[in-house]
Structure 1
């Protein structure tokens, strides 16, 4: 059986818990909740992990505890320790270019302006791994980018946030059951909420 790895990108610490930049954490936590899995601190590299099954696959859910800009270090460490190939690794992260409620699944690509993904790409030395981008935008005109992504969701956004997190978790599960291409066809068309 081939082990799969699902990485949610975010920042550790209470102050970042429900911020826009931590949507990746929210998605892997939703998958863990569905599977009854519990996150535990890792000692080999800076991350928290939970073990579960998605369909017939054994899956490790990972939350890097390195802060966003150094996420690649924990992802690389996990892949080496568990001997997981890049193609068996799904990275979930926020995208300010996508409207809140939108999801984009891709089989490969760049990190765009996302520093966490830039770090992952730098450490893995490949662009060929599935990723699920979760919309957190649009950034209001004139708003500071760092302040926006590290800011919390507004109360009126909470229902849409809940729905998009659930849908992103569905997309990850779909990648494992029907593959990245078919998942792209299903999830890239529509918006949640």
Structure 2
């Protein structure tokens, strides 16, 4: 059994906030997969049970407000006699550009109060799906930014991201995190994200993006050596500095 948690704040006032992208992602999964039951309230949360990739899955949206999200997650984990490794949490990440997704197990909270609360209730050894919303540019603007609604232009990346999360929830259930992230990257940017999964990721067959791990700027640099003067004072000076010209 896997519990997939989406973080957010309850109520219509907050439903379109950037801080509620975790709720939005779990709602998208619920809509896409017909096996899930209607939402019901328990564990201080809204929950729904269903099946993805032959695995029983509980979708959970804490209704305690963000800062106390761990109460609901902890209650559900204890009720179903699960381990932190059975918990996957989807939430907003300021330190990722809009539409970018990163997955990790354990680690710090990054200042996210919902994650801090879950850490306090169940420990840190659960999977975190960080959904990038971008940063407003200064710490003073963070609260207003995350509690503000997504702008109309954000739908260009937000809708493909949510659709792809829902369509590929089976990869999340199976633990195929690399392919899950790659498909979201491709849906949001139109580009293959295999080389973006980490420094050790090889380029995908047929990729036109160049060697893995190199930026487009580095690839664009000319490889040919510049022409140097062969005669005259400047040539003599360069020969003294660089040594005899390489025969190759």
Q: Would you say same fold, with TM above 0.5? A: yes
> Which sections of structure 2, spanning at least 5 residues, go unmatched?
190-248
Larger Rg: 2
> Which shifted more, 131-140 or 159-168?
159-168
TM superposition shift of 1:185: 6.0
- Match runs of 1:73-84 below 5 Å: 73-84=71-82
Partner of residue 17 from structure 1, selected from 15, 20, 25: 15
SS in 2 for 1:42: strand
Q: Do the aligned partners of 1:27 and 1:169 also contact (CA within 8 Å) in 2?
A: yes
In 2 relative to 1, CA 6–27 (structure 1 residues): closer, same or farther, beyond 3 Å?
A: same
1:18-167 alignment runs, 5 A limit: 18-36=16-34, 37-43=36-42, 45-125=43-123, 127-141=124-138, 144-167=141-164
Q: TM-score with structure 2 length normalisation? A: 0.69
* More displaced stretch, 163-172 vs 49-58: 163-172
Between the aligned partners of 1:39 and 1:143, the Cα distance in structure 2 is 40
Give the CA deviation at 1:173: 2.8
TM-fit CA distance, 1:141: 4.8
Give the CA deviation at 1:35.
1.0
Q: Sort the Cα spacing of 1:42 and 1:101 in 2 relative to 1 into closer, same or farther, 3 A.
A: same
TM-score normalised to structure 1 length = 0.88
Structure showing the higher strand proportion among its residues: 1
Structure scoring higher RCO (CA < 8 A, sep ≥ 6) equals: 1
In the alignment, the residues of structure 1 paired with residue 47 and residue 55 of structure 2 have an alpha-carbon distance, to the nearest angstrom, of: 16
Q: Does the 8 A contact of 2:50 with 2:56 survive in 1?
A: yes
